[in-house]
Structure 1
């Protein structure tokens, strides 16, 4: 099978909280599974490679929202094409918000998004800065959330149900949801980076990409020890929050 190409978009501007490192997680797990994988750092539309198998859009600061939005806007057609084609896309934090209809800021102004996914980011009563635990079809997901906005109006499925934390909005404990899944596009508030702490989600993205490229993905033996460490971290967090282990 041909080598996988993993695109990370604006890694300097969208690399807060280690989010750009999700591309490195995908590349390493692909190599452990026996596939060649390269990471292409895209800072402008001209940098986009001809062949793309996975895309990572990380999170950045509000001070660079307009700058990032304007750069991403030059790639809107490509992003829409990737979504339609089923290329796996992971969008975290403000990267996800900028793919939406728009971002409502605390002062009432609105930053127009690219309109690729339904919904919009809206201010939370208080900034969410804490650990988050989510139940999903990929098993338990954990991360650290650090965001001033929730998410509303999504017409897609959530990534999972919040067991502890804020996720997409401040609602009654145990009833909230986190993230968005639209086809093979995954939006989330989870930092950590999310794929290092939750390898099952990374493997789902990789399996999708490898299948599209004509192969079959099976996690490599070297992934087992890393996965055990990640699971221990999730169980430790769950115990601290009074939740059962996986």
Structure 2
């Protein structure tokens, strides 16, 4: 042990935990621990609960009824979020958590919720809700699988997507793209939680966090067992989504 404890912040887990998104923080902490690193998860529901050290951040998705409450709390951390993003702290935002970090959210009734402007693009209404398997080929993170469940498309981030859609809708509007990436800040529709289904995606984020903390991250022996379960689940989902394994690109 190096004496440095990796601190993974789970933002607003009580409001933003659709499909277990908040558990992405637990995945990061577990994999770091299996690699022989000290790691902890800190649940943060208000600004004064932020720890002094922040190595990675997870912000899950919530219901539309919680948009204003979540936005209000995130606004109190606006400066910190921008600083973390600028400094390269990995931030994973899913669903409405991602939308709230964007330029804004247009609602079906014609009203709008202003975003924090950390990520480019905005969420706009679609004719019907999309649900189902989502498979994405990411040049940075390999083939990602998950579940999408959203009533809005995402526009304005065509220049920096997380990846190309192989099955599902993703950002919609026939863009064939999913998510958005700016540095180490990532927004996505992928639920699951996404890091449990895509171990190498989790490892990539841990690699970024560890390097910033001047630590070396190498997946531990125990990850091989867990990753075997994840691989079986991924293959089943790829098959169900009609994506041939031989054409699915690098595995994640």
- 1:8 equivalent to 2:10? Answer yes
1:12, CA displacement in angstroms? 0.3
Deviations 1:79-124 (A, max 9, x none): 0000011000000000000001100011111011111111100112
**Contact 1:120-1:151 within 8 A present in 2 as well:** yes
1:155, CA displacement in angstroms? 6.3
Match of 1:233 in 2: 233
Match of 1:134 in 2: 136
- 1:85 equivalent to 2:49? Answer no
Q: How does 1:42-81 map to 2 (within 5 A)?
A: 42-81=44-83
Secondary structure, aligned partner of 2:117: coil
**Structure 2 length-normalised TM:** 0.94
Distance 2:221 2:81 in 1: 34
Alpha carbons of structure 1 residues 120 and 141: separation in structure 2 relative to 1, 3 Å: same
**Contact 2:98-2:188 within 8 A present in 1 as well:** yes
Distance 1:239 1:73 in 2: 41
**Contact 1:96-1:188 within 8 A present in 2 as well:** yes
Of 149, 153, 167 in structure 2, the residue corresponding to residue 150 of structure 1 is: 153
Match of 2:214 in 1: 214
Report runs of 4+ in structure 1 exceeding 2 Å deviation: none
Unaligned runs of 5+ residues in structure 2 are: none
Distance 1:242 1:7 in 2: 36
Secondary structure, aligned partner of 1:5: strand
1:226, CA displacement in angstroms? 1.2
- 1:113 equivalent to 2:96? Answer no
Match of 2:242 in 1: 242
Deviations 1:162-189 (A, max 9, x none): 0110101141xxx611011100001100
Match of 1:202 in 2: 202
**Contact 2:60-2:95 within 8 A present in 1 as well:** yes
Alpha carbons of structure 1 residues 242 and 155: separation in structure 2 relative to 1, 3 Å: closer
Match of 1:183 in 2: 183
Unaligned runs of 5+ residues in structure 1 are: none
Distance 1:141 1:50 in 2: 32
